[in-house]
Structure 1
Amino acid sequence: MAADGNTSQLVGIVTLLGAAVVGVPLFKRLGLGAVLGYLAAGLVIGPFGMGLLTDAQTIIHVAELGVVMFLFVIGLEMKPSHLWGLRGQIFGLGSMQVVLSALLLTGVGVSFGFPWQVAFVSGAGFVLTSTAIVMQVLAERGDLHAPQGQRIVSILLFEDLLIVPLLAVVAFLAPADAAAASASASPLWQRIGVAVLSLGALVAAGRWLLNPMFQVLARAKAREVMTAAALLVVLGAALLMEWGGLSMALGAFVAGVLLSESSFRHQLEADIEPFRGLLLGLFFLGVGMALNLEVVGRNWPLIVAGVLALMVGKALCIYLVARFAKSPHAEAMDRAILMAQGGEFAFVLFTEALKLRVMDAEVNANMTAIVVLSMALTPLVVVLYKRWARADALSLDGVEAPQDLQGNVLIIGFGRVGQIASQGPLAKGVQLSIIDNDPDTIRAAALYGFKVYYGDGARPDILHAAGAKHAQAIVVCVDDKAAATRIVENVRRECPHVQMVVRAFDREHALELVRQDADHVVRETFESAMVMARQTLKVIGVDDGEADLLLEQVRSRDAERFALETAGGMFAGRALVLGNIEHIAPPRHDDEARKQG
C-alpha cells in the first residue's frame, strides 16, 4: 500500500514536470510568455481538463513558497536605505491606488445587486494584485529594477501589508454570532500585538543573528549546509510571519532586506534561485488547475461580466492614480494592464469571509473563479498590448526628430555602448550628431547634457536628415543584430563613401556585417574579454611585456581565423587588428589585387 502511495505521488510529480516542460517552451515560442504556458498546462492536466491531477489547492499552498522566495530575492536587492527612499511610493502611491480601487470595485459589486458588505469584501480582495504574476512578468521583461518596476514593487509591498487590517474588517462585518466566535478565539488587539511581536523578532534576528550564523557556516566550508541555511532563513521568516497573522511573502522580503548588505548576499541568491523558479512555476500550474470550469459554465454570464467589470474598473483607477502622480501615459497604461487582476491573497480573504458568513459558498466560488480568470488573462492581455499598442503610445515629450544635422561623426544608438563610444570623439572636440529610437534613452541623455534626436537609423530619410552624407564616420551602436545589419545596408547604399564603425553581437554577426561592406566591425565582448585575459595573466605573475606579447598572439590568430572564415564564405576579405578595434577591410576584386601586387 505504501509503495502504491509513493508511486501515485511520483506519477503526480512527473505529470506536473511534464506539463511544465511541454507547455512553457511552446507558449514562449508562440510569444505568449512562460506564465501563460504554466496556466494553460495546469488547466489541461487539472480536474477540469484531462483530470490527471485533482488537488489544486494543496499544490497552490505548497507552491506559494515560490512567491515567498521571489520576495526574498527582491529583498536582497533592496538595501534599507533604498527601501526608506521608496517610503513615499509605498505608502503614498500604494494607499491612493488601493483606496480608490476599493471604493470603485465596491460600487461595481453593489451595481451587480450584492449587499454592500459582500461587495466590499469582493472588491477589496480583487484590489490585492497577484504578486506572483506581476513579479514574473517584470522579471521576464528585465524591468524589475527599473524606476517603473520599483514603483510597482512598492505598491505590491503596501498591498501585502493590507492583509491583516482587511481580515479585521471582515471580522467586523461578520454576523454577531460568527464575530463573537471569532473574537472569543482571538481578540483583535491580541492579533495586532502578535503581529507586531513577530515582525520585531524577525528584525532582531536579521540584525544580530543571521550574519554571525552564516560566518560560522562559511568557515565550515560545507556548500550543502549553506543552501540549507538559506532555505531555513526564507522559510523560517515566512513561518514567523504566518504565526503573527501577516503575509509569508512580507516576512521573506523583510529577511531579504535585512541581509541585503551582507557579504553572503550573492551566495544566498544563488542558493535560492533554483527553488524559487521551480516553485513559482508550480504555483502557476496550481492556479490553472484551480479554475473551476463547472462553476464558470453554470454562471458564465455573471463571471464573464464580473471579470470584465472588475479588471476594467481596477485598470482605470490604476491609470488615473499613475497620471495623478505624473507618470507618462505609456507607463500608466503599462501599470494599469499589468496590475488589473486579482491575486493570491484574495483567496485568503474570501476563505475568511466564507468562514465568518460574510459571503456564502456560491459567491465565494464565483469570486474565486473571477480572480483565477483575471490572473490567467493578464499575461495574454500584456502580450496583446505589447503587440498591438500604437507606436505613438510612447511619450515623445521633449524629443525632437533630426533635421539637417552637420556633425562630423553620426552615432546611431545611444545606449550603454554608444555613450562610451562617444567619449573619444568628444575628447577630441569633434562635433557629434546622435540619433536613437527610444524616447526614454533620449530624455535620460538630456539630463547629462547630450542632445539626442529621435529617429530610426534604418530609414534612408532619417539618415539624410541626420547628415549621414556629410559625416566622416558613422558609428552604429544599436543593441539589435537585425537592425544593425539593415542600417549598414542602407548606409552603404545611400552613402557609399562614408566609413562605418559597427557594433557586432558576436562572430557570426561580424561576418554578416563584413559581407554588407561594413568598414570596421567591433565584437561587443571581444575587447572586454581581452582586458580580462590580460589582468588574469598579471594576477598569476606574468609581467606587462609578456602579457602584451601573449595577447598580441591571440589577436593575430583570431584575425587569421576570421580571414579564413570570410574566405570560406566566398568573401575575399582580410581581417586585421588595429588598436582597440577589429578592422575588416572591404573586398577587392581580383584585378584590383593584381594591380596592388
Structure 2
Amino acid sequence: MAFEQAFQQAFIYLTSVVVAVLLGKRIGLGAVLGYLIVGAAIGPWGFHLVGNEGEQITHFAEFGVVVMLFLIGLELQPSMLWKMRHQLIGLGSLQVVLCSLAITGVAMGFGLGWKPALGVGLILAMSSTAIALQTLAEKGLLQTDAGQNSFAVLLFQDIAVIPIIALLPLLGTGAAAADAGHGGSNAWLSHQPGWVQALATIGAVVLIVAVGRIGMRYLFRAIASTRQREAFTGAALLLVIGVALLMTKVGMSPALGAFVAGVVLANSEYRHELESDLDPFKGILLGLFFLGVGAAIDFGYIRDHLLLVIGGAVTLVLVKGAILYGLSWMKGNRCTSALLFAAALSAGGEFAFVLITLSLSAGVFPAEVGRAAVAIVALSMATTPLLIVLAERSISCKPTAGKPERESDATDEGSPVILCGFGRFGHAVGRLLRSRGYGCTVLDHDSDQVELLRTIGLPIFYGDASRPELLTIAGAANAKILIVALKDAETTLKIVENARRHHPHLKIFVRAYSRVEAYEYLKIGEELVYRDTLDSSLRLGADVLRMLGESDDAAERATRLYRERDEIMVRDMAKHRDDSKEFFSAAQEAHRSLDELMRSDIDASRSEAAKAG
C-alpha cells in the first residue's frame, strides 16, 4: 500500500508538472506561474489531490534551489563579471538597497517592527529571473538597453540572495532563529561557542574551494575517460549534495556552499557538462517546489483579506517600479527603455518563496505576515508578463537604426562560433579563427585532449556536443556559426540534426572524413561540407605537376578544375546513394566527364603554348 500511495503521489505531481508547463506556455505567462496555478488547483483549496504530504515534497524539492544556485555560480566567470561590473555594482546594488529600504519603510508604516519589516523589504526587493528573462527573450528584447540592464540587476539579485540567506536568521527571534542560524540539531557544532562555529564555517568554505580547484578536476577527468554519461551525472549530483550536506552540518545554508562550489568550477573545462547534467534535475525539482508553493497558498486568507493582498501587490509594483524607472532614467535611458526595465522587475520573484520559508522558520515575522507575503508575491508575479506587454506596445524599445548593438552580457551569449571537435582537423580551424580575433567556443569529448590543451593554455570545454542542451549552454542561441569537425559520422549527424531543430539560424560547416560521410551529410541537405584530405591531396598533386614540368598557372588551373568537377560529382552521386545501380552509373559518368574535361584543358594549354611560340 505504501508503494501504491507513493506511485499515486508521483503520478499526480509529474502530471501536474506537465500540465503546468503546457498551461504556462499556453497563456503566455511562463512556467513558474503555471506551476503556481496548477499547484493551487491540486492543493487543499482546489481539488485536494494533495494534503499535508505536499509540505514534505516541497522540502525535498528545495534541493532544486540548491542546484539552481550551483548553476548560477557556474555562470559567474570572472571575465563576464568584469564586463558587467558597472551595471552589477552600480545599478544592481542600488536596486536592491533602495527597494529594500523603501519596502521596509512601507511595512513599518503598517505597524511592523524594524526587524520583520527589513526582512519583508529584503524579500520583496527580489524580482523574477525566470519570468522576466523568459518574457524578454521571447519578445526579442534582451539585446535592448532595458534587456541588458534587467539581466545585470537579476544577476546581482542572484548573488545578493546568498548574504540575504545568511542575514535573515539574524533578524529572527527565539529558538526558531537559533535553529535556522545554526542548522538545528543536525549541525555538528550547534552547542559550540560562536568563534568555533565561525572557524568551522570558514574551514568548510576553504575546503570547498580547495577540493573544487584541485581535486575535482582529476575526479572528473577519470570519470570522463570512462565515457559513461550516468557516472558523470552521478558525480555532479554527488558534488552538490556533498557540499550542501557539509554546509548544513557546520550550521550554514546549503545554498551558500553550492554557490561557492559553482563559482570555483566556473572556469573548469567540465563546466558545460556539469550544467547539462544538472539542469534537468534543477528544472523538475524547482517545478515540484513551485507546485508545493502553489498548493500552500492560503486562499482562505486571500478571501478574508482581499483588499490587503490586492493593495499589497499594487503597492509593491508601484514602489519598485518607480525606483527602477528612476534608476534607469539616471543612467541615461529615457522612457523608451526605462518603462520596460521597470515593468520587467517591479514584481516579486521566485526566490521570495524560499526566503519567506526561511524567515518563518527563523522567526523573522509571524505566520500571518508570511501568508500575506506569499499571496502578494504570487499575485504580483502574475502581472510581470502583462506589464512587459503593455510597456512594449506603448513604447518603441527596439535598437535605434544605425546604432551598433551593445555586446550582450547574457549568460547564453557565447562566441560567434561554436567548434565541435579540436582534433587534427578542428584545431587548425579554431586556432586560425582565434588568431584573427574571432571568439570561438570549443567543445570536445576527449577528456585527455581537453586536459592536454588546457595545460598549454588553450581554452576548451569538455562535453558531448550531440546533446542539444549542451549546444544551448555553450551559447548556440546567440552564435552565428557552428563548425562540426568530428570524424564520427553518427555523432556529426546528431549534432547537425539537433542544431537544425533547436537553432535553425546557425550556419553549419561540416567536416567529412571521407566521401562516404560527405554523401550522408549532403543527403540531409547540408551544403557546406569539407572533405578531410581533399585540399592537401590537390596541393600535393599540384606540386607534383610542377615537378613534372607544368607551369604554375597550368598546375593551379588543373587543381581548380578538378575541385569544381569533383564537388559536382559528389553531389550528383549523393542523390543516388541508396540505389547501387544508379550510383555506379553516376560514378562512371563522373569519371568520364572528368577525363574529358582534363583532356580538353590539356589540348587548350598546348594550343595556347603553340600560338605563343
TM-score range for the pair, normalised by the shorter chain length: 0.5 to 0.7
The letter for the 2-side match of 1:47 is P
Identity across aligned pairs (percent)? 37
Equivalence for 1:34: 31
The Cα offsets for residues 555-580 of structure 1, whole Å up to 9 and x where unpaired, read as 568999xxxxxxxxxxxxxxxxxxxx
2:95–2:153 CA contact under 8 A, matched in 1: no
Question: 2:120 is aligned with what amino acid?
Answer: S
Question: Partner of 2:152 in structure 1?
Answer: 151
- Mapped pair 1:18 → 2:15: yes
Q: Tell me which of 320, 324, 328 is aligned to 1:322.
A: 328
Task: For 1:480-495, list aligned pairs within 5 A.
Answer: none
User: How far is the alpha carbon of 1:193 from its aligned partner?
Assistant: 4.5
- The answer on 1:342 being equivalent to 2:348 is yes
Contact 1:128 1:159 in 2 (8 A): no
Distance in 2 between residues matched to 1:14 and 1:284, nearest whole Å: 17
Change (3 A) 1:37 1:526: same
- 2:40 and 2:294 in contact (8 A); partners too: yes
Provide the aligned length of Structure 1 versus Structure 2: 437
Report the equivalent of 1:264. 270
**Does 2:240 correspond to 1:234?**
yes
**Which segment is superposed worse, 113-122 or 174-183?**
174-183
Q: In structure 2, how many angstroms separate the alpha carbons of the residues matched to 1:105 and 1:126?
A: 7
1:371 to 359, 369, 377: 377
- More deviation, 314-323/36-45: 314-323
Provide the residue aligned with 1:108 in structure 2: 106
Partner of 1:569: none
Once the two structures are TM-superposed, the CA of residue 373 in structure 1 deviates from its matched residue by 3.1
Q: Which residues of structure 1 form unaligned runs of 5+?
A: 401-415, 421-478, 480-505, 508-521, 561-597
Greater shift after overlay, 268-277 or 42-51? 268-277
One-letter amino acid of the counterpart of residue 29, structure 1: R
Residue equivalent to 2:60: 62
State how far apart, in whole Å, the 2-side matches of 1:73 and 1:258 are: 11
Report deviation, 1:207.
Answer: 0.9
Choose which of 568, 589, 602 in structure 2 pairs with 1:552. 568
Q: 1:538 aligns with which of 532, 536, 545?
A: 532
Q: 1:320 to 1:194 in 2, by over 3 A?
A: farther
**Corresponding residue for 2:302?**
296
Aligned 1:404-483 pairs, distance under 5 A: none
**Other structure's SS at 1:105 match:** helix
Distance in 2 between the 1:258 and 1:75 partners?
Answer: 8
Residues 37 and 306 (structure 1), Cα distance of their counterparts in 2 relative to 1, 3 Å cut:
same
Residue in 2 that maps onto 1:49: 46
Q: How far is the alpha carbon of 1:105 from its aligned partner?
A: 0.6
Residue type of the alignment partner of 1:159: A
Contact 2:69-2:259 at 8 Å conserved across structures? yes
2:293 to 287, 291, 296: 287
Structure 1 residues 142-151 or 316-325, which shifts more?
Answer: 142-151
Aligned-partner residue type, residue 210 of structure 2: A
By how many angstroms is 1:127 displaced? Answer: 1.9
Given the alignment, which residue of 112, 121, 144 partners 2:119?
A: 121
Q: 1:259 to 1:540 in 2, by over 3 A?
A: farther
- Between stretches 319-328 and 301-310, larger displacement belongs to 319-328
Which amino acid letter does the alignment assign opposite residue 303 of structure 1?
V
CA RMSD of aligned residues (A): 4.4
Deviation at 1:52, TM superposition (A): 0.7
* Residue identity in the other structure for 1:309: T
Instruction: Name the counterpart of 2:384.
Output: 381
The yes-or-no answer on 1:161 pairing with 2:162 is: yes
- Give 1:96 deviation, angstroms: 1.6
Offset, 1:14: 1.0
Q: CA deviation at 1:277?
A: 2.5
The answer as to whether partners of 1:68 and 1:252 remain within 8 angstroms in 2 is yes
Larger deviation: 355-364 or 528-537? 528-537
**Of residues 212, 229, 237 in structure 2, which corresponds to 1:223?**
229
CA distance in 1, matches of 2:249, 2:345: 28
The structure-2 alpha-carbon separation of the partners of 1:139 and 1:72, relative to structure 1 and needing over 3 Å to count, comes to farther
Q: CA deviation at 1:239?
A: 3.5
1:8 maps to what in 2?
A: 5
TM-score, scaled to structure 1? 0.61
SS in structure 2 opposite 1:113? coil
- The aligned counterpart of 1:407 is none
Is 1:390 matched with 2:396? no
Q: Is the 8 A contact 2:70 2:262 kept in 1?
A: yes
* 1:307 and 2:323 aligned: no
Distance, in Å, in 1 between the alignment partners of 2:369 and 2:77 is 42
C-alpha contact 1:342 1:374 (8 A) present in aligned 2:
yes
Number of the residue aligned with 1:426 = none
Provide the rounded CA distance (Å) in 2 between the counterparts of 1:255 and 1:551.
51
Q: Distance in 1 between matches of 2:175 and 2:262?
A: 41
2:586 equivalent in structure 1: none
Following the alignment from structure 2 to structure 1, what is the Cα–Cα distance between the partners of residues 272 and 505? 29
Shift of 1:208: 0.8
Aligned-pair distance for 1:126?
1.6
**Offset of residue 291 of structure 1:** 1.6
CA contact (8 A) 1:69 1:252 kept: yes
1:202 aligned partner: 208
Identify if the C-alpha distance between structure 1 residues 190 and 290 changes in structure 2 by more than 3 Å, giving closer, same or farther.
Answer: farther
Q: 1:513 — aligned with what? A: none
Pair 291,553 (structure 1): closer, same or farther in 2 beyond 3 Å = farther
Look up the match of 1:76.
Answer: 74
The letter of the residue matching 1:5 is A
Cα separation, 1, equivalents of 2:176 and 2:258:
36
**Do the aligned residues in 1 keep the contact of 2:339 with 2:391 (CA within 8 Å)?**
no
Q: Following TM superposition, by how much is the alpha carbon of 1:98 offset from its aligned partner in structure 2, in angstroms?
A: 1.8
